[in-house]
Amino acid sequence: MLFKILQYIRGYLCIRVTGYSAERFLNACRYRQIKLWDLKPLSGAYEMNISIRGFKQIKPVLRKTGTRVVIVRRIGFPFFLYRYRRRKLFFAGAGLCLLFIFALSKFVWNIDIRGNLTRTDETLIEFLSSKDIKNGMLISDVDCARIVKDIRKEYDDIIWVSASIEGTRLIIQVKENEDSIAAADDIDEASGVKTGEDEETEETTEPKDIVADTSCTITSIITRKGVPQVQPGAQVEAGQLLVSGQVPVNNDAGEITGYQYQESDADIRGQAFLEYKDTQSLTYEQKIFSTTEKKEYFFRLFGYRIWLGSVKNDYENVEIYSEETRFQLSENFYLPISYGHREAHPYKSKMKAYKKEEIQRILTERFLTYCEDLEKKGVEIIENDVKIYTGSKEAEARGTLTVVMNIGTSRPAQPLEAEVLPEENEQSGEEMNGNDGSSD
């Protein structure tokens, strides 16, 4: 195949050799290293292909062997050019095409971002365009080192960046800090409630209390850090202190000499009441679409729109759908050219009433979804007295849910007054030594 392409580019001739001893011609050609191929015997003659260079060398061979040669066909690119030599515009076009490709290869046509997990391509591309790095810019204007610096400066969680130009593509490879991603996931999973992972960050001297976020009856309390202030069975109000983050340090006489500050950590569950209310209108609007519709096709170029047809109409109620597709050169290089269509569907509006069963079904479904959401959050539903009340205009589902749920939110503790010496107050981790010292 490659051989054939090369032959075509160089150009070759199909010749017919006639004479008394055409075989002698073949052997003489071979002797002079003139390449022949595709030999075909004809009656008293041979047809074969020969390169242009070879053809120029066969004159002495012909004289010597007494054969005659006729050119049957000229094949190849040089002959093609010669045949169309008068078509100046064609050559101008071909030249322009080459020039155009050369010019286009000077621009960035695609920005490829790899390795980003937490940030989308769009975010990074938007950031880059704010730094004047965008599709369609000159490759010579791209400063890869600058891009790397900018990205590192802007995003703290990106720990490694590489920018390179490959052809007309700007490739940006980033490596994100996977530890910070994992930490973010942990917080999500815990949904704000403290878990064991917090122990790792125990070197915080800032004391934190846990207070009740709703009024409830405490059913269980397991304290890991801090001093519990309530017992199971206790009634608490919203905002009441449940676990104190300031652990008192007593001396032998039972007097408080100082406080050990901690970030309180506890699993507290309490029984609380949740109000539920949901309303649903008894009527709804039904749209009756007519069979007529209007369509409009458009083509948009730099904000200018050319359209075919129109969606203009005198109908009272109309729904208009629009669909637009932008042309793109590469996966994220959009051109300011788009096309699309708009459809107008006129309709008549009619008020309809729900049936009783339908109302019940809608409200029940919504209530069940609400319950499911609660259960996902770890809320246990003990009792519910939600009922559906139907009025003249709307139906209402309301009632109270008795639930057992996690109670408590973290809050910075109010520093308690300690009747201790200031230097002992400063000691946070090694209060036992301080204790010994005072007892001595």
Residue whose CB is less far from another protein, 46 or 259: 46
Nearest to 247 by CA among 218, 208, 212, 196: 208
Which are the contacts of 388, defined by CB distance < 8 A and separation ≥ 6? 359, 360, 363, 364, 395, 396, 397
Least separation in angstroms between residue 6's CB and another protein is 14
Binding footprint of another protein on the chain (CB under 8 A): 23, 26-27, 29-31, 33, 35-41, 46, 48
For 19-57, give one letter per residue: b (16+ CB within 10 A) or e: beebeebbebbeeeebebeeeeeeeebbbbbbbeebeee
Residue whose CB is less far from another protein, 72 or 238: 72
Residue whose CB is less far from another protein, 40 or 295: 40
**Beta strand pairing status for 304-309 and 317-330?**
unpaired
Nearest to 408 by CA among 265, 195, 274: 265
Least separation in angstroms between residue 21's CB and another protein is 10
- The number of beta carbons lying within 10 Å of the beta carbon of residue 101 is 9
Q: Give the integer Cα–Cα distance in Å for 431 and 418.
A: 14
Least separation in angstroms between residue 172's CB and another protein is 52
Tell me if 235 sits within 8 A of 217, measured CB to CB: yes
Residue whose CB is less far from another protein, 3 or 304: 3
Q: Give the integer Cα–Cα distance in Å for 225 and 243.
A: 8
- Residue 288 has φ and ψ, to the nearest 5°, of -105, 110
Residue whose CB is less far from another protein, 48 or 58: 48
Least separation in angstroms between residue 10's CB and another protein is 15
CA 211 from chain centre, in angstroms, equals 40
Residue whose CB is less far from another protein, 31 or 102: 31
Least separation in angstroms between residue 80's CB and another protein is 24
Least separation in angstroms between residue 66's CB and another protein is 17
Nearest to 118 by CA among 219, 194, 188, 30: 188
- With residue 276 as reference, give the H or E element that holds it: strand 265-281
Least separation in angstroms between residue 63's CB and another protein is 19
Residue whose CB is less far from another protein, 65 or 280: 65
Residue whose CB is less far from another protein, 5 or 98: 5
Least separation in angstroms between residue 7's CB and another protein is 11
Least separation in angstroms between residue 43's CB and another protein is 9
Residue whose CB is less far from another protein, 47 or 198: 47
Rg (CA), the chain: 43
Tell me if 321 sits within 8 A of 296, measured CB to CB: no
Q: Give the integer Cα–Cα distance in Å for 62 and 227.
A: 116
Which are the contacts of 279, defined by CB distance < 8 A and separation ≥ 6? 394, 395, 396, 397
Least separation in angstroms between residue 98's CB and another protein is 34
The token pair at 160 is 């490694």
Residue whose CB is less far from another protein, 38 or 394: 38
